[in-house]
Structure formats: structure tokens, C-alpha cells
Amino acid sequence: MKINEIQNQIIEEFSIFTDWMDKYQYIIDLGKNLPIIDEADKKDENLIKGCQSRVWLICSEKDGKLFFKADSDAIITKGIISLLIRVYNEQTPKDILDSNLHFIDAIGLKANLSPTRANGLVSMIKQIKIYALAFAEKDVK
């Protein structure tokens, strides 16, 4: 599925919730269901800078597509990053770099996060794009 199709799917899923507490419960459940990562991957070099809670993001490439794994000590943060992973997993570095994330605003996520967590969200997206850029450059070489 293309990045935009996945985003639209997420927007539709969130549209059934009218109350933000329900949206949060959904995000929390996503966080709980995010596959756990190896303790060995929870090392400082995988930590995202600029997040108040600790977030580890690991990226690998297979057949020109990127695969992401992540973990956090905060469950809401974990839920949010699971949405990002869902959007970006199995996409090419080029598609990731060209993408425009509209689902975050559409579901009202950014406006409903505390400023520190909203900054953390920006840092997560930035880190995903940095990985994509690194792999895109590797492909060129």
C-alpha cells in the first residue's frame, strides 16, 4: 500500500472516535501491541534526540525497502510511533523522503499533544527521514 493510502486508512479509523479519551485509548492499545524489540537494540545510538521520553528507533533495508522497529518507555509515545511505522514500513527511501504527513493534523494528534510531546513527534519524523536519506544516498553510490 502507498504511504497516502495508509494515511487515509488511519484517518478513517480515527474518525469513529468523537472523544479524545477514546482516541488516546486507541493509541495506547497500539502502543501495547507494538512488537517488542531486543534489549540489545535499546542502546544510546538508537535513541532519538529531542524526545522527552526515551524512544529507540531501528531501521533496516531489504530489497530497496525500509523496515522500522521502535520502543519507548512511554506507552502513548509508543502508540504514536507505531502509527508512523505503519505509514513508513516497507516503503522505499525515495517515497519516504517525498511523503507529506497529513494524517497527524487530520486526526488532530499534534494539536492534542503537550508541546514537549509534539516536539518529540517532530523529532521522530525527522529521524525516520534521516534514515531514508542515508539509505537513499547509499543506493546512489
Question: What is the binding site for other proteins (CB under 8 A)?
Answer: 20-21, 24-25, 28, 52-53, 73-77, 112-114, 117
Task: Report in angstroms how near the CB of residue 47 gets to other proteins at its nearest.
Answer: 13
Task: Report in angstroms how near the CB of residue 128 gets to other proteins at its nearest.
Answer: 21
Considering beta carbons, is residue 29 or 137 the nearer one to other proteins? Answer: 29
Task: Report in angstroms how near the CB of residue 19 gets to other proteins at its nearest.
Answer: 9
Among the listed residues 51, 55, 57, 59, the single catalytic one is 51
Annotated active-site residue 59? The verdict is no
SS3 labels along the chain: CCHHHHHHHHHHHHHCCCCHHHHHHHHHHHHHHCCCCCHHHCCHHHECCCCCCCEEEEEEEECCEEEEEEEECCHHHHHHHHHHHHHHCCECHHHHHHCCCCHHHHCCCHHHCCHHHHHHHHHHHHHHHHHHHHHHHHHHC
Considering beta carbons, is residue 15 or 25 the nearer one to other proteins? Answer: 25
Active site residues: 51
